[in-house]
Chain A
């Protein structure tokens, strides 16, 4: 009789112990859910979803002339697009440029642009047009993903020495409060190396920050 009671008590004890274990596991599971929510929130808050690769900005301080920065586009290696009517060899191959008459005086080019260390740091578009109403138009947009973009209108007539000068019309982010001038120049390659580009388009920015009113 006593032996039977002891067996029943032991079974009950085991059942209770199992229930306690199960309850503790459930509590651990619930704690895990809360921890998972906090971890996911913290992860999304602290770990950047987008992390742009940055190159050092190679800005040169000129004596009494502000700061300049030079960008290049190697031609033809860095040219992405030539959009112009009657282009014998389309770039890129397969491009079907519209043959509308209204685009007859428009030439659009896209480039990758490099810094003075010859590292690609952005992309740029150049539009040249000669219409009756706007007249001669030459414009650049430089887009540097980690820094911002600049929009430049160039003087149609080149200066002595072949460089063309323009003014910064608008900028974004790092260039938002900037003003200044940009020059473009064609620099032919003189190395005569087989792998060398035919030349490069050199863009020099001379920008200063405008005073921001508080």
Chain B
């Protein structure tokens, strides 16, 4: 009888592993698609940043996560309602690499995460100020499944505890119907703006110990021509 029970338990463990393996290796869950922002006729504001924590002004989380807060003495988000939240402040650069603004990003693990559908969802918002231009608010649901599957998990499997390669993908998955973020302008030339945006990550190296080592982020924000024409001419 015990032998049968043992066979059943081992079988269940194998079944669970097989199922997780099918989920992980399922090619239909790869979500690389063309961003609607890349084919727009409107102007697009592109803002870049380094996703490496050491390059940020500050990065904080619950203090017990994989990635250490930066600087070391920054206040940590350990209280229960914000324990699954990260906050960062960083300098945003334009397409020439010049400082173009300051961006604050809050991101929280989302309860709409559904591993069965290949959705590792993070709800995030950007609060951006661009000197002499104005301010923007970008709200999005990010799906980091591809990022985890192709970078983070292989880094853990690697004997060197790191991943190297070339990976680029849009992480924005909503709330727009075409998988775009919603953008609201607050001041300056962006006052009253209602538009869409997409955030993409471009990775070359990831370390289990340090997190993203050579990972760049890029926010693409569509500026409809009508909005620009309607805004006051400086």
Contacts and interface: CB of A to CB of B under 8 A. Distances in A.
Interface of A: 24-26, 28-41, 44-45, 48-55, 78-81, 83, 92-98, 100, 102-103, 105-106, 108, 110, 112, 119-123, 125, 127, 129, 131-135, 137, 139, 141, 143-146, 148-149, 151, 153, 169-170, 172-173
Interface string B109-132: 111011110000001010101011
A170 B108 CA distance: 18
Contact of A137 (B18, B19, B102, B135): B135
Nearest to B83: A53
Contacts of B116: 41, 44-45
B3 interface: yes
B81 A32 contact: no
Contact of A35 (B11, B83, B84, B108): B11
Interface string B51-84: 0000001101000000000011111010111111
Given A102-B131, A169-B186, A33 B81 contact: no
Contacts of B7: 25-26, 28-29, 32
A122 B14 CA distance: 41
Q: How large is the interface on B (under 10, 10 to 19, 20 to 34, 35 or more residues)?
A: 35 or more
A133 B58 contact: no
Contacts of B17: 36
Contacts of A48: 111, 113
Contact of A139 (B81, B106, B125, B127): B127
A38 B16 CA distance: 8
Given A28-B8, A28-B11, A139-B186, 10 more contacts: A32-B11, A33-B18, A35-B15, A37-B18, A97-B57, A98-B91, A120-B81, A141-B106, A145-B85, A151-B184
A122 B84 CA distance: 11
B28 interface: no
Contacts of B10: 29, 32
Residue among A40, A120, A148 facing the most chain B CB atoms (10 A cut-off): A40
Given A40-B20, A52-B109, A53-B80, A125 B127 contact: yes
A149 B181 CA distance: 14
Contacts, number: 244
Given A83-B89, A98-B91, A133-B134, A36 B71 contact: no
A36 B104 contact: no
Interface secondary structure of B, over-half rule: mixed
Contacts of B186: 137, 139, 151, 153, 169
B123 to A, nearest CB: 7
22 contacts: A29-B10, A31-B8, A36-B15, A41-B19, A50-B110, A80-B58, A80-B75, A83-B89, A83-B102, A95-B74, A98-B99, A120-B82, A123-B85, A125-B104, A127-B129, A133-B134, A134-B187, A137-B135, A141-B137, A145-B85, A151-B127, A169-B137
Nearest to A54: B81
Contacts of A30: 11
Given A28-B7, A102-B99, A145-B85, A131 B125 contact: no
Contacts of A95: 57-58, 71, 74
Given A44-B116, A80-B60, A98-B91, A149 B81 contact: no
A132 B133 CA distance: 9
A170 B139 contact: yes
Nearest to A28: B7
Contact of B12 (A39, A44, A102, A173): A39
A135 B191 CA distance: 12
A110 B80 CA distance: 18
The 3 A-B residue pairs with the shortest CB-CB distance, nearest first, are A32-B11, A36-B15, A94-B71
A204 B99 CA distance: 34
Contact of A83 (B8, B57, B137): B57
Interface in B1-43: 3-4, 7-20
Contact of A134 (B18, B102, B188): B188
